[in-house]
């Protein structure tokens, strides 16, 4: 892949509006199967969490599915899960020593493209066991996703929404999932032609995707991000653009609302303000910050 961020920078408007769409858990009901069947089992296996597997699973699922961290990058999720586990008395009671994630935390601080290609390069240079282990874990997760996650259709009203929005808007997939998996899922369901580009973790953060592909190319009130996680809202807010939430556990209802009223409001210019504020307020109530065990 040539420089992914240059590809985003070089995108020029062909329509009046721009819409960024998250994929996992937003367009597709793939969050649960990926996290519970691919990410978490490998987390327990690679980082030797067997003797605290119950708490490792509960903590992993809280971070990645049921908290304000939902949808965050996998390496950020890994460090956050380790941090929460290190604070749990049940874990301490089993004399479990949580691995030191300092090396990964430092890499995350200094790297904007938090994906396997950048981590592989660093692993080869640094020769740090925890970095190499994290890379091996991440590669195995991708292999398991490739093997297990297929035949997953988009949520109801996603296809109808894509058909409607592309009449007036340039659309882009804005995701922290690897591009290979995204392209496979969108092509498999024959909806990839609705978007101009599928941007995954190799293209940088979601905030960077919006900044490079849309900011200063379209008016701020004509740029919309659709997502199911606080990170999607943060990406929109960081760029001073609009946000439409897909509420976790109520995705069908959210997409129907977007298709039947949200999109028209966006195109007509009466989306911002009270309407958007009410949607975001409702969205904010679905995901807690504090774990139930605290």
Distances (CA, A) of 273 to 36, 218, 236, 242, 266: 37, 19, 15, 10, 11
In this predicted structure, what is the pLDDT of residue 1?
55
Q: What one-character-per-residue DSSP string does 183-251 give? A: HHHHHHTT-GGGSSEEE-GGG--HHHHHHHHTBTTB-GGGEEEEESSHHHHHHHHHTT-EEEE--TT-H
Predicted pLDDT at 294:
86
How many distinct structural domains can be found in the chain?
Answer: 2
Cα 168 from Cα 50, distance rounded (Å):
52
The pLDDT value recorded for residue 112 is 79
10 Å CB burial of residue 128 (0-12, 13-18, 19+) is middle
Please give the share of the chain, as a percent, with pLDDT higher than 70. 100
Q: Is residue 220 part of a domain?
A: yes
Is 280 within a domain? yes
Residue 95, Ramachandran bin (φ over 0: left; ψ between -120 and 50: alpha; else beta): left
CA pair distance 196, 113, nearest whole angstrom: 21
Q: Of 111, 127, 148, which residue constitutes the final position of a domain?
A: 148
> Same domain, yes or no, for 142 and 210?
no
pLDDT band, residue 220 (cuts 50/70/90): very high
Q: Within this chain, do residues 105 and 24 fall inside the same structural domain, yes or no?
A: no
Of 129, 148, 167, which one is at a domain's C-terminal end? Answer: 148
Residues 99, 209 within the same domain: no
Tokens at 47, concatenated: 């980082």
- Mean residue pLDDT of the chain comes to 96
Average pLDDT for 26-51: 97
Is 290 a member of any domain? Answer: no
pLDDT single digits (tens) 239-264: 999 999 999 999 999 999 999 999 99
Domain containing residue 193: 4-29+154-284
C-alpha to C-alpha distance for 73 and 95, rounded to whole angstroms: 29
Beta bridge partners, 243, equal 225
Q: What pLDDT band is residue 201 in, cutting at 50, 70 and 90?
A: confident
Q: Which of 133, 148, 163 is the last residue of a domain?
A: 148
Q: Exposed, middle or buried, 204 (CB in 10 Å: 0-12/13-18/19+)?
A: buried
Whether residue 196 lies inside any domain: the answer is yes
Q: Please give the residue that has the higher pLDDT: either 86 or 114.
A: 86
Same domain, 109 and 86: yes
Asked if residue 184 and residue 142 are part of one domain, the reply reads no
Residue 2: pLDDT band (50, 70, 90) is: confident
Mean pLDDT confidence for 157-184: 96
Residue 212 resides in a domain: yes
CATH number where 166 lies: 3.40.50.1000
């Amino acid at each position: 892949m040539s420089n992914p961020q240059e590809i985003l920078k070089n995108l020029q408007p062909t329509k009046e509006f721009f819409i960024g769409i998250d994929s996992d858990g937003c367009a597709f009901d793939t969050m649960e199967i990926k996290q519970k069947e691919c990410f978490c089992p490998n987390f327990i296996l690679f980082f030797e969490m067997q003797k605290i597997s119950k708490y490792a699973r509960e903590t992993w699922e809280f971070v990645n599915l049921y908290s304000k961290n939902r949808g965050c990058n996998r390496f950020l999720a890994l460090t956050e899960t380790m941090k929460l586990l290190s604070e749990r008395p049940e874990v301490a009671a089993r004399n479990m020593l949580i691995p030191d994630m300092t090396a990964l935390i430092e890499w995350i601080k200094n790297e904007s493209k938090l994906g396997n290609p950048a981590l592989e390069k660093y692993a080869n240079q640094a020769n740090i066991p925890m970095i190499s282990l994290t890379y091996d874990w991440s590669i195995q997760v991708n292999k398991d996703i490739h093997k297990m996650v297929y035949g997953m259709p988009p949520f109801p009203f996603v296809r109808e929404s894509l058909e409607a929005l592309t009449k007036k808007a340039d659309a882009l997939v804005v995701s922290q999932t690897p591009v290979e998996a995204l392209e496979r899922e969108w092509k498999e369901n024959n909806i990839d032609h609705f978007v101009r580009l599928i941007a995954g973790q190799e293209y940088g953060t979601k905030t960077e995707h919006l900044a490079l592909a849309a900011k200063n190319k379209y008016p701020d009130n004509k740029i919309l991000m659709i997502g199911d996680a606080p990170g999607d809202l943060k990406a929109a807010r960081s760029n001073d653009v609009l946000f439409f939430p897909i509420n976790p556990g109520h995705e069908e209802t959210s997409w129907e609302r977007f298709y039947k009223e949200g999109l028209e409001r966006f195109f007509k210019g009466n989306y911002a303000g009270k309407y958007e504020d009410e949607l975001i307020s409702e969205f904010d109530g679905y995901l807690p910050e504090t774990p139930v065990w605290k």
